[in-house]
Amino acid sequence: MAEVSTLQLSLSDVARLAGVRRPVVSMWRTRELAGHPFPKPVALVAGQERFDAFEIADYLATTGRGNNPEARDDLAAHAQLTHLSHLDETTAADGLTALLCLAASTGEALGDLDHATLVSLASDADSADAFLLREVEALGADLPMLAAHAEALADASYSPAAAFELLLRQQLQRSLRGHASVALRPEAQQLVAQIAAALANDAGMETPLFVDVTDGSADLVLATARAYAAESPPSVATVALDSRSARLARRRLRVHDLHRLDVLVDEDGDFSIPSTMDGSVHVLQLPPAGQPGLSDVEMIDAIGNLLVQLADNSRVVVLGPASALTDPPSSPEADSARDAILRSDRLRAAVRLPKGLLIRSPRKPLALYALGPAHPDVPVGERWTVVADVSDRSLDPGAIDDLVTDVVAAMASEPEVRRHAFRFARRMRTAALLPGRKALVGTVAPARRMSTSPDLLVRIDELTRSLGRVPLSHLRVEAVAPLDSPRGTSTQTLGEAVAARVCRIVPGNRVDPADLTASDGRRVIGTDELLGTAPLGSRRVDTLDFAGSYPAARFTEPGDVVFCTTPRVAALVDDAGGSVVVTPARVLRVVRDPDRGEPPLLPAVLAADIRAAGTRGDASSAKDWRRWAIRHVPKGQLHALANTLEEVERERHELRTRLGQLDALAAALTEGVTAEALTITARPTMPATHNDLPTDDTPATPPGASAPDEEGS
């Protein structure tokens, strides 16, 4: 390869080549070494300076700058080709991937071959022109130069497959815009791959076939094939479309040496799954790279079209936008299409995933479907789907492992599903998901794990005894019989509770800050009071003036929970009621309907759950009140728990009052003594600690000891 400016580098490319951060390269340009100036740019492309790659390599070798002593050998992996006679970037990129695939398929060194030999080699490797022949022929007179560059790129990347993946990443922002719009973070690929591989193992597939019936990039089938650990390597199948993306996918799978089969497609673009592919695992990303503009309805219809042809012993894993798969349908057509999937009884699991999994659209949430065998022996009204919402969690390896376990368990029979202890998911009757225009997963609250009954008994006993002679020291609890004990705390999300009308959200009042300075009247609760930056009751509104200025104002009722989500999540219970809640704070009110009985909700528990929700997950998810998990209280324990928590709060209030008095006493003493205005003439005696106080089982005065007189001695 002649050392001219056929290879160029941007400043970012220089940083990657040298193994340094981008600002370091700018520093090299401004702080030149004596006698060794930084090379001058040789071109300006789209407003970006380009530098001769060989001049940069010489500069790094001469100055010793950077952290890559093999920079010259690695040029091809970082530089961009220029001075092509007539080729656009798309043709050149497709040609390079074809040449890398040709090198991997034939084992030939392409760098020294002439044009005719290269075309002949490509024709022998792809006589049907299914994946590389036309891309090689399209390079024309530049074919030998690009073949030499492909060889150098493979050498710099250590293999044609690694060079192929590097080239794909480089082209995402240039000639592969459709691929870039659906490119996934590694953790998303790993989740799908591990689920698909686990489903193959669970189904007893010794040599599984992983199928992608979309016009996609092969990201997921490739990741799945890598994740499948077995002695016999899996096979893959992709659509036999003649589109650019489908041909690129075939080259990609060939360069990775995967055995591939065709999924036949007719003239209308409809695929046909042969019976030889029964018992396979289908892996789909929607929308696919070749059709990034698919609507929600089209994506759901694509799943439905697959289900029509799906054998009972096949499995499907689908990754797509939450708007299509789990969130409230965007249209009646989307609702109807999703309804058909639910009624097929093939949807075994639906999972809403966190944001940030799409590289180009990090704020767009994704969701996952896992489809498997139907259960025709189960009555229609008792059929189930497992749903989970992990949108407030990161997909770390532990979370991925637990999600895989939950999804695989969802494929089992009804008794096995009932016995499985799901971490993230829960089993729901499919019929409950069918009524239209609502979220499929929505806001699912996983069952909370609790400590064992003996542990809780011991802890409560220790705590009540440590309190000394207070009313709470007489608290007694008993363990629920093991056979009647639940596996976990009964929960739902706040959004579900509001939808079920067992509680409701009341917005705060918009009040001019100038009206919040009265010395008497109704107390105000806003974010300052919730966050503790202002004492409760320090701000008030004049009752008469407020009624005249704000005739539509709303006041709290006793037991209302006041909460806010910004600047952080906080909550308190307004036991007295009659307060003015100032926006952005809001009110959560338990709705008591005589016809339906008392709801299993306690304000104190709701406030505690809201505060706990603010500490879990990422900041944006924590502030979505619809997804907060709230605990139910067994109806037989509602009043007992309410009375006990009221007593706890009274104790807290007394302690806060006493702490305030102690603070004031300390301040007054310090001020008086340091100003030499007071002297302490008698120090206080040390009282007995709570551990020394008598209990119900010990006498107040030890035997043989005389009780002190009232004044002490």
What does the pLDDT look like over 638-648, one tens digit per residue?
Answer: 888 988 888 88
CATH number for the domain spanning 517: value is 3.90.220.20
CA distance 361 to 180: 10
User: Is 41 within the bounds of a domain?
Assistant: yes
Query: Taking every pair of C-alpha atoms in the chain, what is the biggest distance, in angstroms?
Result: 116
Q: Is 370 found in the same domain as 261? A: yes
Pick the more confident residue, 395 or 462. Answer: 395
Q: Is 610 found in the same domain as 648? A: no
| Residue entry with tokens 């060989």 | 54
- Whether the Cβ atoms of residue 422 and residue 487 lie closer than 8 Å to each other: no
At 598, give phi and psi (nearest 5°): -75, 130
Q: Tell me the three state secondary structure of residue 665.
A: helix
Residues near 148 by beta carbon (within 8 Å), at least 6 away in sequence: 1, 110, 111, 112
Give 224: exposed, middle or buried? Use CB within 10 Å, 0-12, 13-18, 19+.
buried
Q: Is 464 found in the same domain as 423? A: no
User: Is 688 within the bounds of a domain?
Assistant: no
CA distance 620 to 355: 10
Report pLDDT for 709.
42
- Give me the number of domains the chain comprises: 5
Dihedral angle over CA of 542, 546, 549, 554, nearest 10: 170
Q: Is 588 found in the same domain as 645? A: no
Bridge partner residues of 369 (DSSP): 318, 350
How many other CB atoms are found less than 10 A from the CB of residue 615?
A: 9
User: Is 444 within the bounds of a domain?
Assistant: no
Q: Is 386 found in the same domain as 316? A: yes
DSSP-derived pairing of the beta strands 235-239 and 209-212: parallel
At 53, give phi and psi (nearest 5°): -65, -35
Report pLDDT for 597.
76
Q: Tell me the three state secondary structure of residue 685.
A: coil
The 10 Å CB-count burial string (b at 16+, else e) for 267-299 is eeeebebeeebebbbbbbbbbbbbbeebebbbb
pLDDT band at 710 (very low <50, low <70, confident <90, very high): very low
User: Is 399 within the bounds of a domain?
Assistant: yes
Q: Angle between the 397-410 and 186-202 helix axes, to the nearest 10 degrees?
A: 40
Do you know the residue count of the chain? 713
Q: Is 85 found in the same domain as 59? A: yes
103 HSE (CA, 13 A, CB side): 28
Q: Note down the domain range covering 665.
A: 637-669
Token duo for residue 203: 């189904």
Of 126, 144, 175, at which residue does a domain stop?
A: 175
Report pLDDT for 231.
66
Q: Is 206 found in the same domain as 140? A: no
Report pLDDT for 706.
43
pLDDT digits (tens, 9 = 90+) for 347-383: 999 999 999 999 999 999 999 999 999 988 888 888 8
Pick the more confident residue, 105 or 436. Answer: 105
- Whether the Cβ atoms of residue 102 and residue 110 lie closer than 8 Å to each other: yes
pLDDT digits (tens, 9 = 90+) for 656-691: 888 989 999 899 889 988 988 888 888 777 655 544
The 10 Å CB-count burial string (b at 16+, else e) for 139-177 is beebbbbbbbbbbbbbbbbeebbbbbbbbbebbbeebbe
pTM score of the predicted model? 0.68
Q: Is 246 found in the same domain as 342? A: yes
446 pLDDT above the threshold of 80: no
Q: Is 396 found in the same domain as 284? A: yes
The DSSP element (H or E) to which 673 belongs, if any, is helix 638-674
CA distance 88 to 64: 36
Rounded to the nearest integer, the mean pLDDT of the chain is: 86
46 pLDDT above the threshold of 80: no
Q: Residues 295-303: what's their mean pLDDT?
A: 95
How many other CB atoms are found less than 10 A from the CB of residue 626?
A: 15
Across 508-619, the runs of DSSP E, i.e. the strands, are 522-525, 540-541, 560-564, 570-574, 580-581, 586-590
462 pLDDT above the threshold of 60: yes
Q: Is 274 found in the same domain as 206? A: yes
636 pLDDT above the threshold of 70: yes
Q: Is 502 found in the same domain as 471? A: no
Report pLDDT for 451.
54
User: Is 424 within the bounds of a domain?
Assistant: yes
Q: Is 513 found in the same domain as 409? A: no
User: Is 207 within the bounds of a domain?
Assistant: yes
Report pLDDT for 152.
87
- Whether the Cβ atoms of residue 678 and residue 672 lie closer than 8 Å to each other: yes
Give the residue from 361, 243, 226, 343 showing the smallest Cα distance to 283. Answer: 226
User: Is 698 within the bounds of a domain?
Assistant: no
Across 375-474, the runs of DSSP E, i.e. the strands, are 384-389, 425-429
CA 388 to chain centroid, in Å, comes to: 12
Q: Which of 471-480, 508-517, 594-603 has the lowest mean pLDDT?
A: 471-480
Identity of the highest mean pLDDT range in 172-181, 447-456, 540-549: 540-549
Q: Which of 136-145, 391-400, 434-443, 689-698 has the lowest mean pLDDT?
A: 689-698
Give 214: exposed, middle or buried? Use CB within 10 Å, 0-12, 13-18, 19+.
buried
Report pLDDT for 473.
62
61 pLDDT above the threshold of 80: yes
The DSSP element (H or E) to which 479 belongs, if any, is none
CA distance 303 to 321: 13
User: Is 681 within the bounds of a domain?
Assistant: no
Q: Residues 572-600: what's their mean pLDDT?
A: 90
